[in-house]
A = this chain, B = another copy of it.
Amino acid sequence: MDERPIGVFDSGLGGLTVVKEIKKILPNERIIYLGDTARVPYGTRSKEAVTEFSLQNITFLEKKNVKCIVIACNTSSALAYSKIKAFTSLPTFEVIAPGVKAALSSGYIKRIGVIATRSTIGSHAYKKAILKRSPKTSVLEIACPLFVPLIEEGELKGKLIGYAVDKYLNPLLEEKIDTLILGCTHYPLIRSQIAAKLKRVRIVDSGKTVAKELSVYLKLKEKDLLASKNGKPKDEYFVTDLTDRFLNIAEVFLGKKLKGSLRKISLE
């Protein structure tokens, strides 16, 4: 038994979709969540900036005595993972490899689409990871920079998100992809809009997959790392900026009321 919490960080609130999946399959685990809401979004920033911010997030979580860290942000996973691994001795889970594994799991795949932020796509992290495992796969990467602001503004249905979906996904439709990776932890919130556009395309959400990997890791290690089943774990949520709208948006991402403490902190 290991009662230490699991640390999860994201540039902002998107990572709460990953927390939601972790809590589904690991309900006894305590979560320490850090959202860098003072500097969200990461997806339009440089590798240098995203790496600097990510290492500050890791330092914060290390001080909270977490047993492992989930990078619930695709941009940070794509741009900063190698630096993060060298920086911390804690077991660290990123979201790209699990997404790729899930996308390639269904046997013979010819055409995979990847949608993500501009920085994630610019890194070609998904394309490289897919081609390493399956060199003959065709991969089409599309940056969708307006999805994050639209989702953060609650534009989950209606004309605005509809036009953005058309704009970004039409090329994937034309390329006749058979699998789509949601390469940003915000995108599960518009999954139904995406599915309606890309009919008969299998949609892979790395939040679900990383939660499963985390569960396997905690259960399978020689030393049992799972928390005990005593009582309900008290989660803690930290943000680097707090506005009036926070709770409303957070609950949309989490899919329920945010239970646990919420505090604004400074990383600098």
Contact = CB atoms under 8 A, between A and B. Distances in A.
A231 B145 CA distance: 42
A36 to B, nearest CB: 10
A177 to B, nearest CB: 23
Given A38-B45, A39-B39, A160-B160, 14 more contacts: A37-B45, A44-B152, A44-B243, A45-B241, A45-B243, A46-B241, A46-B242, A118-B245, A119-B243, A145-B153, A146-B150, A160-B163, A160-B164, A163-B163
Contact of A49 (B145, B155, B159, B241): B241
Interface in A217-268: 240-245, 268
29 contacts: A37-B45, A38-B39, A38-B49, A39-B39, A44-B152, A44-B243, A45-B241, A45-B243, A46-B242, A46-B243, A48-B241, A49-B240, A49-B241, A118-B245, A119-B243, A122-B244, A145-B149, A145-B153, A146-B149, A146-B150, A146-B153, A146-B155, A159-B163, A160-B160, A160-B163, A160-B164, A160-B167, A163-B163, A268-B268
Contacts of A160: 146, 160, 163-164, 167
A145 B151 CA distance: 12
Nearest to A40: B44
A115 B52 CA distance: 34
Contacts of A153: 145-146
Interface string A117-152: 011001000000000000000000000011001101
Contacts of A152: 44
Interface in A161-183: 163-164, 167
A181 to B, nearest CB: 22
Contacts of A149: 145-146, 149
A122 to B, nearest CB: 8
Contacts of A150: 146
Contacts of A48: 241
Contacts of A49: 38, 240-241
Contacts of A37: 45
A124 to B, nearest CB: 14
Nearest to A242: B46
A201 to B, nearest CB: 23
Interface in A56-115: none
Nearest to A49: B241
A44 B41 CA distance: 11
A136 B48 CA distance: 52
